[in-house]
Structure 1
């Protein structure tokens, strides 16, 4: 189980530097002694059991026959206290058809098997991986297995009296030790970004205000990231009335946080993150149990900040800037009221028909700032934006919007590799945003809510190539599955990183 971290003012500096890697991974060219042994079988082809004692092989073969085990992906056969073996348990794990074994499947498998081993309190696991083949090299597949296990291992248990500190040590027998270590090191950089995003998302709202988030971003300066924070007075001076207005009802007001990793001198890519650290709904107040999950309404900002950390640790050959509009959407005598009109830095006026549609307001000014100050080649915004998105595609996919077909294809392909899948929804219904008193209103009068929200944001993209990713429903998990634990998911870090490192 992972190290716990708390992003309070006192612990912030240390926590931001700590990569929560508690599961241990050793890659070697020989099989180690351990509590348990994992052997893989691809489809109906027989597993390589020759390295085992004759009686142990016979016992495993009988267990495989008794279970009618066909090596289907993810299926397992477990043998307890195998005869003439020092291992307490031996697991035969199905890989499915060899040609279909890719990064996506191996990462999921690593996550699910880690949960099984942790549940059985296995302190050490030997993994016979040397003969595993698939669509990727043996080194890549082994690294992805470890990646999935470590992603599943990381959880946020700061507030529990007795957090789970159990640790599993993995000992891999691989074909190429150095190659596997290199592959896993690259994935560790991505993991560090994911863990940062998860911890920021999981932290309670009173400990993760816009001020606290800004402090977390400042910690990335040690990795060569340039960080800038704009306070409410500066936002007003720049005319960023939408971002400033949303945070007006909270104690400390809004912040614009900018984190720039300049890995080359090319035109930058801008990542825009919605950072509502708590969303009460404002005067259009939320009701019901869902309000307790609104600490996660800053998951878009967490994802883009985590991505910048991943790129900086990777020393990636990319120029990427994250621009994050941060605010707590609260109720007070200073808060904006339904019917108010805010003027964005773009010069566009917005009638705030519903104060609970605040995410698009903070994004509008953040998008303007990115375009004005960085002239990016491409702009991608990430936001827990609409409940309508969940109704459209659920929480197994995020919703992606763009008029750029090539970017849609690139992100779709990237999502499949890292198990952060996207599904395209249409832009349109601009007429539904018409206001009698301002240029636009912030919610559509009819029409599909996820689309009208995306179309609102489109008005602030200018001529820049732009993608909007709605991650409502993807940011916080109520149950663990595959490589994703309960709590903050860090959704978007792996998607954006994969796209930056391959498509760009």
Structure 2
């Protein structure tokens, strides 16, 4: 297990002996008796302005716990980002041996958001470090008059969001000799064991071959570790479900179309889409959200074994549609093709969102701030962008176009999985997946290739796997209801 993070508590009073983080918007200090009498004069003599990202240590008396001011003032016209503030405080005060108290937040919602930020910001993946020293595990206490209401918000939803993101990060950070299709399934089962309203269905290779799922089976046939299709259903409401389908390539060598060796280790994270949908349904189910959701993880390991599929092969999906394999390194769209067809046939969703680390083209287009969003309908795209704005998980809409749709057609099969010039790579990937989605089914495609990990610490995302998509999908599942 990873080292223990500080738990979250709420109180109307500052605990004795706690290191104190005081939130300010500007230079006005709270009048709660927690600060020394000369604190205002000390602030006035400093360069501290109370803007977001600033902090200032306030001298405390001999033997007294440390005091730090944290600025929260946003740019003009914007609201303070309480979650990022919570992450900054947790990271800045991580080394304190005592408990930590956060004071000065304006209301219950701000306190609950900051609490979520503290949990996301202090995440660490250190279970394989033999010389690790566990950090202090005393609580972080959010202090304010609205502590009871904030605690209810935390317990009702925010805590479970943190659990979902943590699960996704753990899955992505694990090495590929630990997380492969079968063990991914077992990890999901363990995380969801005993959660009310949840059922899990798993198809192994034998079952998928019997159903004619040549696309997902073809991707994994070069590996001795068999592919899996996992469907997790949470029924918190009546009616048809929303389906969340995630690419789950537990390691992507490129197959016969072998990737360069430099950076290939990162391909243990090519299952970040499957991790995101699994984390999202964990959050939804544990918080007892009033929704009906199916999370689908299309799991395979793409290896260049002696039985691996070849460029030039033609495979057939469950519905009988045919795919020409131009590159075995364009495999994520293949596993999603069968996953989507099975989900649509068996679960009859009212809408479908797929999420995948799909293309290098998306990385080049948007960098590390946005995932690419594709939609056939403006209204659905707008709803996704609104959810992205609310959760802080960035999306940027990229184009679908008839010319790009035609570019994925094959000369010898229905479609081809690569070499789709003149379509940009991310659009070609989206149109390929679209081919397996019924025309009348509301559908969104999210290409998160640039978002699965970060190489540097951020307030909410320490270096490593980001857990991107969990909060976004949780929000979209709650807000996108059947008509």
Compute the TM-score of the two structures, normalised by the length of structure 1.
0.90
Matched, 1:64 2:43: yes
Does residue 191 of structure 2 align to residue 215 of structure 1?
A: no
* Counterpart-to-counterpart distance in 1, 2:461 and 2:414: 42
Distance 1:50 1:350 in 2: 67
Question: More helix per residue: 1 or 2?
Answer: 1
Deviation at 1:33, TM superposition (A): 2.1
Q: Distance in 2 between matches of 1:29 and 1:292?
A: 47
1:162 and 1:407 map into 2 onto residues whose CA distance is: 49
Q: CA deviation at 1:98?
A: 10
Q: Spell out the pairing of 1:23-34 with structure 2 (5 A cutoff).
A: 23-34=6-17
SS state at 2:177 partner:
helix
What whole-Å deviation, never above 9, does each CA across 1:199-239 have from its counterpart, x for those lacking one?
11111001111010121232324213111111111111111
SS of structure 2 residue aligned to 1:277? strand
1:205 to 170, 173, 176: 176
CA distance in 2, matches of 1:98, 1:128: 22
Conserved 8 A contact 2:115-2:142: no
Question: What is the match of residue 48 of structure 1?
Answer: 30
> Cα offset for 1:413?
1.4
Determine the structure 2 residue equivalent to 1:11: none
| Corresponding position of 1:359 | 332
TM-superposed CA distance for 1:244, in Å, is: 0.8
Number of equivalent positions: 473
1:63-82 correspondence to structure 2 within 5 Å: 63-80=42-59, 82=60
Change (3 A) 1:200 1:405: same
Query: How is 1:423-462 mapped onto 2 (pairs within 5 angstroms)?
Result: 423-428=396-401, 429-443=404-418, 444-462=420-438
Task: Name the CA distance, whole Å, in 1 between partners of 2:394 and 2:75.
Answer: 23
1:180 and 2:163 are equivalent in the alignment:
no
RMSD: 1.9
Asked if 1:144 is matched to 2:113, the reply is: yes
CA distance in 1, matches of 2:148, 2:98: 25
CA deviation digits over 1:116-157, x for unaligned, max 9?
111x4343222223xx33xxxx11101111110111112211
In the alignment, what sits opposite 1:154? 123
Partner Cα distance (2:7, 2:393) in 1: 25
* 1:10 alignment partner in structure 2: none
Tell whether the 8 Å contact from 2:169 to 2:467 is kept in structure 1 after alignment: yes
Q: Which residue number in structure 2 is paired with residue 280 of structure 1?
A: 253
Aligned to 1:17: none
Distance (whole Å) between structure 2 residues aligned to residue 99 and residue 447 of structure 1: 40
Is it true that 1:496 corresponds to 2:473 in the alignment?
yes
Give unmatched runs, 5+ long, in structure 2. Answer: none
Instruction: Report whether the alignment pairs 1:335 with 2:308.
Output: yes
- C-alpha contact (below 8 Å) 1:247/1:253 kept by paired residues: yes
4+ runs of 1 displaced by more than 4 Å? 97-102
Q: TM-score, normalised by structure 2?
A: 0.94
Counterpart position of 2:88: 112
Q: Secondary structure at the match of 2:10?
A: strand
User: What runs of 5+ residues in structure 1 fail to find an aligned partner?
Assistant: 5-19
* Whole-angstrom distance in 1 between the partners of 2:32 and 2:6: 29
Q: 1:125/1:400 Cα in 2 relative to 1: closer, same or farther (>3 Å)?
A: same
